[in-house]
Amino acid sequence: MEKQTASAAFFALSQPLRLDIFRILVQSGTHGRLPGEIADTLGIRLNTLSNNLSVLLNAGLIRRVREGRNLRYTANTDEIRELLSFLLEGCCLSRPELCYPVAERSKKLLEAPMAQDTYNVLFLCTGNSARSLIAESIMNEEGEGRFRAFSAGSMPASTGPHPFTMELLANLEHDTSALRTKNWEEFSGVDAPRLDFVFTVCDKAAAEICPVWPGQPMSAHWGVPDPVRVEGNEAERRLAFSETYRMLRNRISIFMNLPIATLDKFSLQVRLDEIGQVSDIPERA
């Protein structure tokens, strides 16, 4: 990478709002984000967002692709890799101890995760009243002790779990006695359980800047339509919750059948992203 190219990239990231936009896109992975989603998350006007996206695009830090009438933005991982290489070039020639943590972290991406008796999984949404609670219940019911699930929200509903969520889970014989809405900050403190996986199940939560989770867990976006927002008569609304349950159960089933203990982290991340990118997954025969 040329010095002028690197300077342009660092200049683009020197403004706090552009840095927030860039971090959202980095955290969103290959899924990326639509402009409206980014603007809603940061509470800014679309014209303000557009100006800052242009600076990041010109610096080569992000990409955009047209989807019909919409534009989707993603982080340019190739350019980010080049930028980091430029920044650290020559570091180890004189002070190898400075580069060691970075080199070790990159090396670990190609190592197989250690086999564990139990994996802790956190499901995130905004209100933590439907999708994330349903996912938590499914995994705790079907995880057979190998998986311990939690759920939380960035802005948990003050009214607690949605009544249709509780009704659905109770009818399917899930234990709902301990279910409650929780703020995701509960899982970022020193006393929080060490997380192995974090999955966002709504687009808005995926676009938000998450807390720093203990243990640097692997993460992926498994977006599911929000049943709470479905309009119609009572039967149609209940059907939306049932459909949410079915979609999450299928994805969780595929995840729990992955050979987690034998996959290197790079391969495992690809599999996690694939689960979330499929719009629907049919029931197994």
Reference 123, options 26, 227, 222; nearest CA is 222
Mean pLDDT throughout 133-148?
93
Report the distance separating Cα 180 and Cα 133, nearest Å.
8
Q: Are strands 197-200 and 218-221 parallel, antiparallel or unpaired?
A: parallel
pLDDT at residue number 283: 45
Report the distance separating Cα 114 and Cα 268, nearest Å.
13
285 falls in which pLDDT band (50, 70, 90)? very low
CA distances from 184 to 128, 149, 191 (A): 9, 13, 13
Assigned superfamily of 119-277: Response regulator (3.40.50.2300)
Q: Is 260 left (phi over 0), alpha (psi -120 to 50) or beta?
A: alpha
At 160-172, the pLDDT tens digits run 999 999 999 999 9
Task: Report domain extents, the chain.
Answer: 3-78, 119-277
CB 211 within 8 A of CB 104: no
199 falls in which pLDDT band (50, 70, 90)? very high
The class (CATH top level) of 3-78 is: mainly alpha
Is the fold of 3-78 the same as that of 119-277?
no
